[in-house]
Structure 1
Amino acid sequence: MSRTLISHAQLQRGRGRFLYWALLGIIVTAFTLIFIGPLYWMVTGALKSGQELAQTPPTLFPRDPEFTNYIDAWNNLNLAKLLFNTIYYAAGAVLFQLILDTAAAYALSKLRPVFGNVILGAMLATLMIPAMVLIVPQYQTVISLPVLDISLLDSPFAIWLPMVANAFNIFLLKRFFDSIPEEIMSAAFMDGASPLRTLWSILLPMSRPILGVVSIFAVTAVWKDFLWPLLVMPSQETRTVSVGIYAFAAGTPQNVVVAASVIAAVPTVIIFLIFQRNIMSGLTTGSLKG
């Protein structure tokens, strides 16, 4: 029997059982309100009029729900174009990360190049650098790409290329590859399979859960990012949904802006609800060897 903070005998007693379930209920309810509260406030705020949204103290429920706010947000803020741009950037980020980060993790885990541990340590050290510190050098690189001397402003590569260098995803993939028994690799090499064929035919089919996690991380990173797309996508035609909503917010009623935020959040919520099992299995798979 596993040991816990509260003994099994105490949980069987009337008072101990009541205190345990009461405390558990309070904690679960509190955390549920903390996480669901802002979402509820956003959804209900999009149904209020401008006056009711700015009212103090705020109302808990909309007095007269205005579903036309969502229609106005879709039409006035050109959300179809903004969502298409964001989906396009997210798809490219997923593709680049799956190809390049997987190759890097496979090399570090199974091919073990010279100074591989030094390279991995240097990559992990970049996780300690605040992202804001890298904004200026990354922007200088984008406006004048070294050697080629070309500008990537308003180009999707300005978003894709910085996302490829993701040390966390490489480490996550490497840990998963480390959990795959070496006997599988040895058997593949004895059958004449090249390292690339082994990766494609054996490791990748086994890595679907962790590849799903990396894909979700890439999509959410593009979807929620604001400052970097604001800098490298100045044109109205290339904006992401977060930058587009911000750009139109000044001359748009706040209830319509909130409705646009709800629409922008729906795709990521749907993706999470569909792939939540893959996310949990991918994060736990490979945590233990054997």
Structure 2
Amino acid sequence: MSTRTLISPAQLARPRGKVLYWTVFTLVVGGFTLTFLGPLYWLISSGFKDAQEVIRTPPTLVPETFEPGNYQQAWDVMDLAELLGNTLYYAFGALAFQLVLDVAAAYSLSKLRPMFGKAILGMMLATLMIPATVLVVPQYLTVLDVPIVERNLLNTPWAIWLPSVTNAFNIFLLKRFFDSIPQELLDAASMDGASPMRILWSIVLPVSRPILGVVSIFAVVGVWKDFLWPLLTLPDPAKQTLNVGIYSLSNGVPVNVLIAALTIASLPTLLIFLIFQRNIMSGLTAGGLKG
């Protein structure tokens, strides 16, 4: 059976059809490229301009005044080194908690199958339908005075780490991957005397590297790009994240230096995506074992 396409091979073989096809293809790809890369180019190029050129109307496409010292000034004046260290600490702490607790939750729901497991999974997925802004107030009141232990978690890493653990989307991704692991493989290990914890450590985790990579990237990027929650829970300037710190120091800084700081803040996550984009796609599409 031939594959159905928008344009038939016969029409594509004609000179007129070939010209029309490649014209439309070039326009569509070029339009999407400009849409996605245009703001990024403006951000990076504006960091090299002086303050007057940045606010000029209409804006200049190529910087007329090339000032690379803006990036060094942004690094020193806004103390980006400390803010970057804080953000890395929060991000990789959240990653560690998510890998331990989310993997345990997904493994339990997928392979151990506890009582009311489907109901628990359904309620967890239902939380994805709730807008994140609706949960800000109850979450803030919780970290302000944690029930039972009666502790105030403001200005502590726990205010960032604990809410990030309750990630229903990551648990669903992990469970979906664990479901694709053949049960016969786990039964064979169980017959050899392996405990559920040993099966998880020696069999499930080694074959789950693609999805673990995806969850890791989501965890780091989620903390890195978050703004509202760190703004509420980390009022101490010495403990703020990169985004909140730049916002707090933006009033007395020239606009070109501020844009340079924003460029520096966006580079780590951009590099993570460019380096691990294949891992992201392979992890999201992985649905079984080969061999």
TM-score band w.r.t. shorter chain: over 0.9
1:145 maps to which residue? 146
1:258 maps to which residue? 259
Distance 1:104 1:15 in 2: 58
1:127 maps to which residue? 128
The answer (yes or no) to whether the contact 1:154–1:235 under 8 Å persists in 2 is yes
Distance 2:3 2:286 in 1: 22
Aligned-partner SS, 2:249: helix
TM superposition shift of 1:8? 2.4
Number of residues of Structure 1 aligned to a counterpart in Structure 2: 290
1:37 paired with 2:44, answer no
TM superposition shift of 1:13? 2.1
Distance 2:279 2:85 in 1: 25
Distance 1:49 1:248 in 2: 19
Give the letter aligned to residue 274 of structure 2. L
Query: Per the alignment, do residues 278 and 42 of structure 1 end up closer, same or farther by CA in structure 2, a change over 3 Å counting?
Result: same
TM superposition shift of 1:279? 0.9
2:18 maps to which residue? 17
Distance 1:178 1:11 in 2: 43
Listed one character per residue, the Cα deviations across residues 188-237 of structure 1 (whole Å, up to 9, x for unaligned) are 11111111111100010101110000010011111110000000000011
Give the letter aligned to residue 193 of structure 1. A
1:180 paired with 2:187, answer no
Distance 1:8 1:177 in 2: 42
TM superposition shift of 1:287? 7.3
Listed one character per residue, the Cα deviations across residues 90-146 of structure 1 (whole Å, up to 9, x for unaligned) are 001111111111111111111111111100100000000000000000000001010
1:224 maps to which residue? 225
Listed one character per residue, the Cα deviations across residues 221-258 of structure 1 (whole Å, up to 9, x for unaligned) are 11110000000000011000000000000110010000
1:83 paired with 2:95, answer no
1:236 maps to which residue? 237
Q: Runs of 4 or more off by more than 6 Å in structure 1?
A: 287-290
Give the letter aligned to residue 84 of structure 2. L
TM superposition shift of 1:11? 2.0
Q: Which structure 1 segments of 5+ residues have no match?
A: none
Give the letter aligned to residue 39 of structure 2. P
TM superposition shift of 1:15? 1.8
The answer (yes or no) to whether the contact 1:153–1:233 under 8 Å persists in 2 is yes
The answer (yes or no) to whether the contact 1:179–1:289 under 8 Å persists in 2 is no
The answer (yes or no) to whether the contact 1:220–1:268 under 8 Å persists in 2 is yes
The answer (yes or no) to whether the contact 1:179–1:286 under 8 Å persists in 2 is yes
1:249 maps to which residue? 250
Give the letter aligned to residue 189 of structure 2. A
TM superposition shift of 1:261? 0.6
Give the letter aligned to residue 96 of structure 1. F
Aligned-partner SS, 1:249: coil
TM-score normalised by length of structure 1: 0.97
Give the letter aligned to residue 81 of structure 1. E
Give the letter aligned to residue 10 of structure 1. Q
Distance 2:195 2:289 in 1: 27
Give the letter aligned to residue 132 of structure 2. A
Q: Which structure 2 segments of 5+ residues have no match?
A: none
TM superposition shift of 1:289? 9.7
1:62 maps to which residue? 63
Give the letter aligned to residue 257 of structure 1. L
